[in-house]
């Protein structure tokens, strides 16, 4: 059963079509990879899915409570509320806030106390803030960050910043998690650790994951299916072994038929 | 209620102490009516600066129109108070002025808050000018001559109550999830939006709350100084408030309070040297900005400087 369905999605910027007629689907519980050479339109596709861009045409549908919900044209915060959370390719943490606050801010959409309690710090405020802190610490524990909860996000080492971004995305309680190059800039050891964590949170949080990644060791190891984009168009899709031997994919990455040159 | 932590007790104690000391000094006569004006100015400026800090320092929305909100509170309270000459009239006027300012904040905020940085600053500047020109041309506000003989109900007790109330309420708001939503907009608007924060809503909310308290400050002003005219609430007044916020530290309530007190004291002290007064004042600002570009307090609060060793470790918000 398809959880996220993208149908003939197109986005043009003036004369440039960054994403052209892309159709894909992700089933519940799947871990799907999205790869392609630089400038293929992967991040643009992410931005379309998360509401940062409005699609020129086509539709994005997310199944929620047994109903199909159209996400195209919704604002980013609304998309997040529907259950689609993301991380950013170039880390976008709240740099000057503490690690704990980064996570707590992402929990805000599920906060129930209202302005009155906020202004007067009534019991409701205290009870819920305690819950928030406990929940945030549970999340941070997964990424071994809870002992650093009071540090500023900008003071974390690079790898931990990447982890915090994932923790923050999880704090929005998503059903689909979009990871934009989570292993970028990591060394092989860190990538291996990240691979384990992604597999683990997927089970633990019952997540469906779509990830963009250039690190093929990570993609080939954990993705069940892979979509390949080139020049904004979908050129291949299938299991990792199929993609590895796909002629079009090799051409897109390495240029045309090397042997005949 | 968990109001009785060590930290809260200390805060309560220092609030009562401040009130008691000033009250005693007034009763004994050490603070004469000349210095009382300084105290009124300090309190009103604290309310203005703390409320502008919520908009500019915490939510990151650069506003040059705070005096506009202040003027709405001042005029509404004055008009109501002149028709209802009693303490009740004063309080009704103050609240009405604050609500009116808040409504204007919402109305102006919805279309303008999609602008960023310099553009928003210009738009808010325009808003304040429109409000000023409206008061200049309306009959009920008596045009350029302004309103005279407003009954005086603002005294030290009311000034203190409203000032302490403003600081506590805005501080509580900032330390709530809603306040953190506002701060996240300052940090990274796109990331905030992607984390489920309705950024437009929280920008307008910050603007509205800021307007509300600026309205209260205006009401206290008109009721203390008997007299309001449109010129008092021009561009320069907005800049004055902004200077306090920047000097104290964008994103520090304690900073705004300290800067409001310090600037008023410096200004009072320099009154005896009329000729060089503005030069010294301006030079002082330049020097402070060179050596403390982040403002006196940066984004720190005074409570961050003390370590409270009660059962639970205190959370650092900034």
**Nearest-angstrom CA–CA distance, B114 and A89:** 25
Higher pLDDT, A79 or B2: A79
Q: Does B318 touch chain A (CB under 8 A)?
A: yes
Q: Does B8 touch chain A (CB under 8 A)?
A: no
Same domain, A178 and A77: yes
Same domain, A158 and A191: no
Residue B5 lies in a domain: no
Q: B219-270: per-residue pLDDT in tens?
A: 999 999 999 999 999 999 999 999 999 999 999 999 999 999 999 998 888 8
CB A31 within 8 A of CB A222: yes
List the one residue out of A122, A48, A92 whose CA is nearest residue B197. Answer: A92
Instruction: State the DSSP H helix or E strand holding residue B142, giving kind and residue range, or none if neither.
Output: none
Choose the mutation target among A50, A71, A77, A117 for the interface with B, i.e. most B CBs under 10 Å: A77
Torsion of CA A50, A56, A62, A68, to 10 degrees: 150
Within 13 Å, how many C-alpha atoms sit on residue B301's CB side?
19
Note down the domain range covering B243. 32-305
Instruction: State the DSSP H helix or E strand holding residue A31, giving kind and residue range, or none if neither.
Output: strand A31-35
Q: A112-125: per-residue pLDDT in tens?
A: 999 999 999 888 99
- Whether A108 sits inside 8 A of B178 (CB atoms) is yes
**Nearest-angstrom CA–CA distance, B116 and B135:** 28
How far is C-alpha B145 from the chain's CA centre?
Answer: 26
Given a cut of 50, whether residue B93 has pLDDT beyond it is yes
CATH number of the domain bearing residue B67 = 1.10.3470
Predicted TM-score (pTM) of this structure: 0.91
Phi and psi at residue A13, to the nearest 5° = -110, 105
Phi and psi at residue B114, to the nearest 5° = -80, -10
Helix (H, G, I), strand (E, B) or coil at A71: coil
pLDDT band at B309 (very low <50, low <70, confident <90, very high): very low
DSSP string, B187-232: H-HHHHHHTT--HHHHHHHHHHHHHHHHHHHHHHHHHHHS-B-GGG
pLDDT recorded at residue B317:
42
Instruction: Give the minimum alpha-carbon distance from A108 to chain B in angstroms, rounded to a whole number.
Output: 6
> In what side-by-side order are the strands of the sheet with A2-13?
A16-27, A2-13, A57-64, A67-70
List the one residue out of A14, A15, A22, A1 whose CA is nearest residue A72. Answer: A22
**Nearest-angstrom CA–CA distance, B296 and B247:** 6
CB A42 within 8 A of CB A229: yes
Same domain, A203 and A257: yes
Average pLDDT of A88-100?
Answer: 94
Residue of B3, B180, B190 lying closest to A105 (CB–CB): B180
Give the angle B136-B142-B146 at the CA atoms, nearest 5°.
Answer: 75
CB count within 10 Å of CB A68 equals 12
Same domain, A69 and A125: no
Rounded alpha-carbon distances, angstroms, from residue B214 to A20, B45, B46, B263: 51, 9, 10, 19
Instruction: List, as ranges, residues 137-176 from B with C-beta within 8 Å of A.
Output: 169, 172-173, 175-176
**Nearest chain A alpha carbon to B176:** A118
Give the angle A208-A212-A215 at the CA atoms, nearest 5°.
Answer: 120
Residue B317 lies in a domain: no
User: What is the domain count for chain A?
Assistant: 2
pLDDT band at B315 (very low <50, low <70, confident <90, very high): very low
Residue B235 lies in a domain: yes
Q: Does B28 touch chain A (CB under 8 A)?
A: no
Instruction: Give the minimum alpha-carbon distance from A251 to chain B in angstroms, rounded to a whole number.
Output: 35
Same domain, A22 and A62: yes
Residue of A105, A117, A120 lying closest to B195 (CB–CB): A105
B84: its two tokens:
């209802």
**Nearest-angstrom CA–CA distance, B107 and B267:** 35
Q: B27-48: per-residue pLDDT in tens?
A: 888 888 888 899 999 999 999 9
Average pLDDT of A4-17?
Answer: 93
Beta bridge partners of A50: none
**Nearest-angstrom CA–CA distance, A234 and B191:** 28
Residue of B180, B197, B316 lying closest to A77 (CB–CB): B197
List the one residue out of B286, B58, B41 whose CA is nearest residue B172. Answer: B58
Q: What is the DSSP letter of B38?
A: H
Tokens 């086509």, residue located: A58
Q: B155-214: per-residue pLDDT in tens?
A: 999 999 999 999 999 999 999 999 999 999 999 999 999 999 999 999 999 999 999 999
Q: Does B178 touch chain A (CB under 8 A)?
A: yes
CB A132 within 8 A of CB B315: no
Average pLDDT of A80-88?
Answer: 94
Given a cut of 90, whether residue B55 has pLDDT beyond it is yes
Rounded alpha-carbon distances, angstroms, from residue A50 to A29, A39, A74, B250: 19, 19, 8, 32
Instruction: Give the minimum alpha-carbon distance from A120 to chain B in angstroms, rounded to a whole number.
Output: 7
Same domain, A238 and A189: yes
Residue of A52, A96, A108 lying closest to B177 (CB–CB): A108
Same domain, A112 and A61: no
Q: Does A137 touch chain B (CB under 8 A)?
A: no
pLDDT recorded at residue B2:
59
Beta bridge partners of B246: none
Same domain, A12 and A112: no
Same domain, A181 and A218: yes
Q: Does A231 touch chain B (CB under 8 A)?
A: no
Q: Does A89 touch chain B (CB under 8 A)?
A: no
**Nearest-angstrom CA–CA distance, A174 and A165:** 14
B298: its two tokens:
């940066």
Q: Does A123 touch chain B (CB under 8 A)?
A: yes
Domain boundary among A139, A171, A203: A171
Helix (H, G, I), strand (E, B) or coil at B30: coil
Q: Does A80 touch chain B (CB under 8 A)?
A: yes
List the one residue out of B212, B206, B207 whose CA is nearest residue B96. Answer: B212
Residue B143 lies in a domain: yes
Same domain, A57 and A118: no
**Nearest chain A alpha carbon to B316:** A150
Mean model confidence pLDDT for chain A: 91
Note down the domain range covering A167. 92-171
Q: What is the DSSP letter of A52?
A: S
**Nearest-angstrom CA–CA distance, A114 and B181:** 13
pLDDT recorded at residue A258:
52
Q: In the structure, how many helices (H) and strands (E) does chain A have?
A: 10, 10
Instruction: State the DSSP H helix or E strand holding residue A11, giving kind and residue range, or none if neither.
Output: strand A2-13
Domain boundary among A171, A188, A217: A171
Q: What is the DSSP letter of B57?
A: I
Cβ contacts (< 8 Å) between A77 and chain B: which residues?
193-199
Instruction: State the DSSP H helix or E strand holding residue A108, giving kind and residue range, or none if neither.
Output: none
Residue of B2, B177, B190 lying closest to A111 (CB–CB): B177
CB count within 10 Å of CB A106 equals 30
Helix (H, G, I), strand (E, B) or coil at A175: coil
pLDDT recorded at residue B7:
77
Q: B267-281: per-residue pLDDT in tens?
A: 888 888 878 878 888
Phi and psi at residue A104, to the nearest 5° = -65, -35
Given a cut of 60, whether residue B92 has pLDDT beyond it is yes
- Whether A94 sits inside 8 A of B184 (CB atoms) is yes
Given a cut of 90, whether residue B116 has pLDDT beyond it is no
Q: Does A16 touch chain B (CB under 8 A)?
A: no
Residue B86's region, left for phi above 0, alpha for psi from -120 to 50, else beta, is beta
Name the least confident of A252-256, B82-86, B174-178: A252-256
Helix (H, G, I), strand (E, B) or coil at A2: strand
Helix (H, G, I), strand (E, B) or coil at B139: coil
Instruction: State the DSSP H helix or E strand holding residue A25, giving kind and residue range, or none if neither.
Output: strand A16-27
Same domain, A163 and A180: no
Cβ contacts (< 8 Å) between A172 and chain B: which residues?
195-196
User: What is the domain count for chain B?
Assistant: 1
Tokens 């904004």, residue located: A232
Tokens 């906060």, residue located: A111
CATH number of the domain bearing residue A212 = 3.40.50.300
Domain boundary among A117, A142, A171: A171
Burial status of residue A223 (CB atoms within 10 A of its CB: 0-12, 13-18, 19 or more): buried
């Amino acid at each position: 059963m398809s959880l996220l369905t993208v149908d003939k999605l197109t986005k043009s910027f003036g004369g440039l079509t960054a994403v052209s007629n892309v159709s894909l689907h992700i089933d519940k519980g799947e871990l799907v990879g999205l790869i392609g050479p630089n400038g293929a339109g992967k991040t643009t596709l992410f931005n379309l899915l998360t509401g940062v861009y409005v699609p020129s045409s086509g539709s994005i549908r997310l199944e929620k409570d047994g109903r199909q919900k159209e996400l195209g044209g919704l604002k980013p915060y609304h998309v997040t509320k529907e259950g689609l959370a993301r991380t950013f390719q170039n880390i976008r943490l709240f740099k000057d806030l503490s690690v704990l606050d980064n996570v707590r801010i992402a929990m805000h959409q599920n906060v129930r106390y209202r302005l009155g309690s906020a202004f007067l710090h009534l019991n409701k405020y205290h009870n819920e803030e305690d819950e928030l802190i406990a929940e945030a610490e549970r999340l941070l524990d997964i990424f071994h960050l809870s002992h650093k909860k009071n540090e500023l996000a900008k003071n974390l080492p690079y790898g931990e910043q990447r982890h915090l971004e994932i923790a923050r995305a999880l704090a929005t309680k998503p059903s689909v998690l979009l990871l934009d190059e989570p292993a970028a800039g990591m060394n092989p050891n860190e990538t291996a650790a990240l691979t384990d964590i992604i597999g683990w949170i997927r089970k633990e949080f019952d997540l469906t994951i779509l990830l963009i990644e250039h690190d093929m060791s990570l993609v080939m190891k954990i993705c069940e299916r892979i979509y390949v984009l080139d020049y904004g168009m979908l050129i291949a899709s299938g299991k990792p072994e199929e993609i590895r031997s796909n002629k079009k994919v090799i051409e897109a990455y390495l240029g045309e038929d090397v042997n005949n040159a | 209620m968990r109001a009785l932590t060590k930290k809260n007790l200390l805060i309560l104690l220092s609030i009562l102490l401040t009130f008691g000391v000033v009250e005693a000094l007034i009763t004994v006569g050490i603070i004469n009516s000349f210095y009382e004006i300084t105290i009124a100015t300090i309190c009103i400026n604290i309310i203005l600066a703390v409320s502008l800090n919520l908009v500019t320092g915490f939510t990151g929305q650069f506003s040059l129109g705070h005096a506009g909100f202040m003027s709405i509170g001042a005029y509404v309270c004055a008009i109501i108070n002149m028709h209802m000459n009693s303490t009740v009239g004063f309080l009704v006027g103050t609240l009405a002025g604050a609500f009116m300012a808040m409504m204007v904040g919402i109305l102006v905020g919805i279309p303008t808050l999609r602008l960023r940085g310099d553009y928003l600053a210009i738009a808010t500047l325009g808003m304040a000018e429109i409000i000023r020109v409206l008061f200049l041309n309306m009959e009920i506000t008596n045009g350029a001559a302004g309103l005279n003989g407003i009954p005086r109900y603002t005294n030290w007790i009311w000034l203190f109550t409203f000032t302490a109330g403003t600081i506590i309420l805005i501080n509580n708001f900032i330390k709530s999830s809603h306040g953190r939503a506002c701060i996240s907009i300052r940090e990274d608007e796109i990331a905030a939006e992607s984390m489920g924060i309705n950024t437009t809503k929280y920008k307008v909310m910050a603007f509205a709350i800021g307007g509300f308290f600026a309205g209260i400050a205006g009401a206290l002003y008109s009721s203390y100084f008997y007299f309001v005219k449109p010129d008092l609430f021009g561009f320069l007044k907005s800049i004055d408030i902004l200077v306090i916020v920047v000097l104290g530290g964008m994103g520090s309530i304690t900073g705004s309070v300290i800067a409001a007190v310090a600037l008023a004291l410096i200004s009072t002290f320099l009154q005896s040297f009329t000729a060089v007064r503005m030069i010294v004042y301006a030079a002082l600002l330049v020097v402070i900005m060179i050596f403390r570009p982040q403002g006196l307090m940066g984004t720190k609060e005074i409570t961050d400087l003390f370590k409270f060793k009660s059962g639970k470790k205190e959370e650092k918000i900034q």
